[in-house]
């Protein structure tokens, strides 16, 4: 039987909050209840927002809660490392070369303002859809290098379908959802979509459990898996934790940040908060990780 491999992939741009803990706990339980391996990967692609001190704090918070990883982390020495995205440039470069070889990539010099100017009025939910301004008339066609240009990948004329373990069957039309998307920015920074696919594939991840704000991104990622010749993992997108106003938690919600939570609660109390929100326990009460693991195993066995 194939080994189950899950991962937690935080961006070190601030202190974690209850929402991050919720995702980490569910991913850890899902993997551990089936005897799998759990990887910690630090997604520090954005040099402006990522700080090593936040990465260290994330590791410290996870240890404090008992959420230990089998592989990865800042000093991770596992065979599939390094586990910091900022150190994985050569692997992304190789994947980009493969994508360019498909003839489906093209250089793009559109600014954000250019793209916003082409948006149809119904795209008012903040989603930016690329309308294909720089797309060559004929594709596939060989990639023509252009200094300072972003590399865009043409999306296919088809609906990407997949079954999410939590959200069920999904069908995403990439033309309508995002249009041709960037795999490498003009300033050389790697896109999240490319890096996450290369990393999950090369780290042998079989299950991607994360917040449902990334549900539609899974379609872009499935397309990349296919072009790069990798097998897609299973996806499970969990609802985001919201504050009392019903708005998804952000780093601004201080009372649910790990800094505040650690100062006022025990690890078991915090695990209880996450477990209650996940419906693993009926009411908020302190609970240990081993109790949660037991309760997850009971749920699996009774299915």
Positions annotated as catalytic residues are 251
- Closer residue to ligand GLU, CB minimum distance, 10 or 81: 10
Q: Does 257 participate in binding ligand GLU (rule CB under 6 A)?
A: no
> Among 37, 175, 184, 210, which residue interacts with ligand GLU (rule: CB under 6 A)?
210
For residues 9 and 224, which CB has a smaller minimum distance to ligand GLU in the complex? 9
Selection from 47, 199, 289 nearest residue 55 by Cα: 47
Q: Which is it for strands 37-40 and 5-8: parallel, antiparallel or unpaired?
A: parallel
Contact between 214 and ligand GLU by CB under 6 A: the answer reads: yes
Q: Quick one: 8 or 143, whose CB is closer to ligand GLU?
A: 8
Does residue number 14 form part of the binding site for ligand GLU (CB under 6 A)?
no
Q: For ligand GLU, which residue of 5, 9, 62, 238 counts as binding (CB under 6 A)?
A: 9
Instruction: Please say whether the beta carbons of 267 and 65 come within 8 A.
Output: yes
Q: How far is the CB of 140 from ligand GLU (least distance, A)?
A: 28
Q: Is 88 in the site for ligand GLU (CB under 6 A)?
A: no
The DSSP secondary structure of 31-100, one letter per residue, reads: HHTTT-EEEE-B----TTT--HHHHHHHHHHHHHHT---SEESTT---TT---BGGG-HHHHHHHHHHHH
Question: Is residue 43 at the binding interface for ligand GLU, with CB under 6 A as the rule?
Answer: yes
Structure tokens given for 70: 């089998």
* Total Cβ atoms within 10 A of residue 112: 8
> Does residue 202 bind ligand GLU (CB under 6 A)?
no
13 or 133: whose CB is closer to ligand GLU? 13
Q: What is the rounded CA–CA span in Å between residue 231 and residue 94? A: 18
Which of 11, 30, 86, 191 touches ligand GLU (CB under 6 A)?
11
Number of amino acids touching ligand GLU (CB under 6 A): 7
Return the beta strands (E) in the chain as ranges.
Answer: 5-8, 37-40, 71-72, 105-108, 150-153, 159-164, 168-173, 181-184, 207-211, 234-238
Q: Which residues bind ligand GLU (CB under 6 A)?
A: 9-11, 43, 196, 210, 214
């Amino acid at each position: 039987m194939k080994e189950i491999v899950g991962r937690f992939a935080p961006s070190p741009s601030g202190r974690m909050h209850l929402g991050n803990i919720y995702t980490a706990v569910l991913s850890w339980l899902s993997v551990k209840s089936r005897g799998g391996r759990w990887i910690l990967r630090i997604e520090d692609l954005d040099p402006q927002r990522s700080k090593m001190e936040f990465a260290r704090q994330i590791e410290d918070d996870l240890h404090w809660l008992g959420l230990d990883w089998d592989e990865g982390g800042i000093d991770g020495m596992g065979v599939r490392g390094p586990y910091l995205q900022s150190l994985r440039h050569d692997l992304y470069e190789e994947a980009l070369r493969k994508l360019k070889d498909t003839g489906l990539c093209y250089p793009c010099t559109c600014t954000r303002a250019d793209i916003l100017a082409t948006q149809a009025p119904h795209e008012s939910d903040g989603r930016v859809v690329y309308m294909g301004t720089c797309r060559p008339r004929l594709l596939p066609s060989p990639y023509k290098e252009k200094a300072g240009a972003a590399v865009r990948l043409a999306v296919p004329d088809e609906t990407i379908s997949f079954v999410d373990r939590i959200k069920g069957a999904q069908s995403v039309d990439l033309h309508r959802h995002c249009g041709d998307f960037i795999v490498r920015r003009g300033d050389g920074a790697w896109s999240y979509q490319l890096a996450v696919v290369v990393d999950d594939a090369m780290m042998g991840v079989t299950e991607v459990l994360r917040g449902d704000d990334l549900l539609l991104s899974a379609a872009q990622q499935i397309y990349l898996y296919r072009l790069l010749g990798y097998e897609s993992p299973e996806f499970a997108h969990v609802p985001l934790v919201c504050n009392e106003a019903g708005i998804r938690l952000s780093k601004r919600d201080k009372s649910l940040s790990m800094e505040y939570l650690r100062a006022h609660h025990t690890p078991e109390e915090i695990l209880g908060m996450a477990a209650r929100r996940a419906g693993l326990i009926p009411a908020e009460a302190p609970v240990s990780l081993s109790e949660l693991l037991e309760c997850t195993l009971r749920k699996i066995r009774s299915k």
